């Protein structure tokens, strides 16, 4: 396909450097079929590039696409980008946890239990919102803003089925969700799959092998509570429960009232236990391990074309994670942003070395750093425990700029409000405190002054508990990676570190605040590693002051 044909669909006056190369790579991958991994810097304009390729091929070839992205906010951004195109028709396919308006279901925090409650209400015909009828959807269809009064989820399924859309955009965990109901016009070999930030796919696939149920939702299992009390008294961190014994516990819990909604829950738990290879009790959760079923590569098989995009997936790691044949392409740029990268050599969040004084030391230095930078600062901790350690050290009382916190309990609307307010204060400066691998550290763009400084605080290794060990075993079993724990820790850190640099002109003062990041050099993109240096924590503030005085001579 000639470049002049791309220009007919590309909605902007001029492409960014490397953007047409990316479009051509996507089109080339689609035309030859199979699996292609394309590495391109974050912020290059991947969304516009993907939509340009979809617009070209859906009109000329008549094929449909599923465009899978990582977060809910990225789904919204694709729909916003769709409005800038003239012809393309795209619908957002969102999950029940986002769209449900029945309070009896929506109040359930666990997705597995929420889905089961939805099934039960529909099966009994007592959900007043369940009306599987579509509406006349717009060209860029967003079901979350539906005002019809009926269930937005099932309304969207019917709307997409009848709406002649070129592509669906969805969060890619839904690809592995048995509750996902793809409309029939988006199944089959002529539906192509495009996955953004595809380096996360294996991790999500592994998470779908585990069902984690909070014990607080299983109050009926009184014998289970007695076992938990015994474990706590004996200092036993986790316990494998024989499947037959656990099924006995469930059967002993059945109420005499056969119409009780509890029966539906117990039936579902029994069926999931039957499908599980292990049942683990690790308070406050029950963990069901489902190490059977389709592999990741088998789940990709229905799509003749698989285009996997990433900003941090090196060829070696991609070929280690995916056990099928693949092609690898890389979009290279001469430079990317105006960047200074630093590894702090005398600080770590390693569990054995954490204490209140270390948290105070890093908190006070970051507070001082926030005073000398221009624009907004993002701090991405390795866990919510480390985030809380910074707060317990008094960080919010040390800073003078507005501080925004990313909470694990935030719904998508609250998160969007917090991020919008944070971005709006870029001219005077604000601080965002979140976690690596969270929505702000991978699913958001912060161009210009919206974030000029990113601090990656600590390395995100899995906790040394039963759940962490099972995840490690699954990584080793289903990939060819020798050290998946280190690769994943480096990957989420690099993703978070790259948040400020979304174009050739963006500033990026990047701080890796943990000496262990020296093990991640091979996973850093060239533009990030080119300026890398090691400093002590006491030298950080002066380095930040020097960077912004030297680089802020031109407009950001």
**Which domains, from first to last, does the chain contain?**
1-88+166-209+294-333 (3.40.50.300), 94-165 (no CATH), 213-289 (no CATH), 338-551 (3.40.50.300)
Closest CA to 429 of 500, 374, 379: 374
pLDDT at 449: 95
pLDDT at 554: 42
pLDDT at 347: 96
pLDDT at 555: 40
pLDDT at 340: 95
Q: Which parts of the chain register pLDDT below 50? A: 1, 4, 554-556
pLDDT at 67: 96
**Per residue in 329-344, is it b (16+ CB within 10 Å) or e — as a string?**
bebebeebbbbbbbbb
pLDDT at 496: 94
pLDDT at 150: 92
Question: What is the C-alpha to C-alpha distance for residues 336 and 359, in angstroms, rounded to an integer?
Answer: 33
pLDDT at 111: 77
Residues 6+ apart with CB under 8 A from 555: none
Question: What is the C-alpha to C-alpha distance for residues 325 and 309, in angstroms, rounded to an integer?
Answer: 16
365's tokens: 């230095």
Question: Are 329 and 364 contacting, i.e. CB atoms less than 8 angstroms apart?
Answer: no
pLDDT at 515: 97
With tokens 């950080």, the residue in question is: 540
């Amino acid at each position: 396909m000639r470049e002049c044909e791309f220009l007919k669909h590309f909605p902007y006056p001029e492409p960014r450097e490397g953007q047409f190369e990316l479009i051509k790579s996507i089109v080339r991958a689609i035309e030859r079929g199979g699996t292609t991994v394309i590495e391109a810097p974050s912020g290059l304009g991947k969304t516009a590039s993907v939509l340009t390729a979809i617009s070209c091929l859906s009109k000329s070839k008549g094929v449909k696409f599923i465009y899978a992205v990582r977060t809910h906010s990225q789904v919204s951004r694709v729909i916003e980008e769709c409005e800038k195109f003239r012809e393309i028709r795209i619908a957002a396919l969102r999950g029940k946890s986002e769209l449900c308006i029945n309070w009896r279901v929506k109040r359930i925090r666990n997705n597995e239990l929420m889905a089961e409650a939805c099934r039960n209400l529909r099966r009994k015909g007592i959900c007043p919102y369940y009306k599987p009828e579509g509406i006349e959807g717009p060209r860029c269809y967003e079901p979350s803003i539906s005002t019809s009064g009926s269930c937005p989820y099932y309304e969207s399924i019917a709307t997409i089925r009848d709406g002649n859309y070129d592509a669906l955009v969805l969060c890619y965990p839904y690809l592995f969700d048995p509750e996902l109901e793809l409309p029939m016009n988006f199944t089959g070999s002529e539906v192509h799959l495009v996955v953004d930030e595809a380096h996360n796919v294996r991790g999500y696939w592994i998470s779908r092998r585990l069902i984690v149920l909070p014990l607080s939702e299983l109050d009926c299992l009184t014998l289970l509570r007695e076992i938990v009390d015994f474990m706590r008294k004996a200092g036993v961190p986790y316990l494998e429960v024989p499947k037959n014994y656990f099924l006995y516990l469930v059967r002993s819990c059945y109420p005499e009232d056969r119409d009780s909604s509890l029966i539906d829950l117990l039936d579902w738990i029994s069926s999931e236990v039957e499908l599980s290879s292990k049942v683990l009790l690790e308070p406050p959760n029950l963990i069901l391990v489902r190490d059977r079923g389709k592999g990741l590569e088998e789940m990709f098989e229905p799509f003749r074309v698989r285009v996997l995009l990433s900003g941090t997936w090196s060829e070696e790691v991609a070929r280690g994670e995916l056990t099928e044949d693949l092609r690898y392409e890389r979009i290279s740029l001469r430079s990317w942003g105006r960047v200074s990268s630093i590894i702090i050599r005398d600080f770590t969040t390693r569990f054995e070395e954490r204490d209140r004084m270390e948290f105070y030391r890093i908190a006070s230095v970051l507070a001082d750093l926030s005073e000398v930078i221009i624009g907004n600062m993002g701090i991405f901790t390795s866990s919510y425990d480390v985030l809380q350690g910074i707060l317990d050290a008094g960080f919010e009382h040390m800073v003078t700029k507005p501080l925004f916190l990313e909470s694990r309990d935030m719904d998508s609307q609250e998160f969007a409000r917090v991020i919008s307010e944070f971005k709006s204060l870029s001219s005077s400066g604000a601080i965002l405190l979140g976690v690596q691998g969270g929505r702000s550290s991978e699913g958001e763009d912060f161009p210009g002054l919206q974030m000029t400084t990113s601090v990656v605080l600590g390395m995100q290794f899995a906790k040394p508990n039963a759940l962490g060990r099972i995840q490690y075993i699954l990584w080793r079993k289903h990939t060819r990676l020798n050290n998946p724990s280190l690769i994943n820790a480096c990957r989420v850190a690099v993703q978070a570190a790259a948040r400020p640099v979304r174009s050739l002109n963006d500033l990026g003062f990047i701080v890796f605040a943990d000496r262990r990041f020296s093990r991640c050099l091979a996973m850093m993109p060239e533009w990030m590693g080119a300026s890398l240096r090691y400093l002590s924590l006491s030298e950080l503030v002066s380095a930040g002051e020097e960077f912004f005085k030297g680089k802020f001579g031109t407009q950001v």
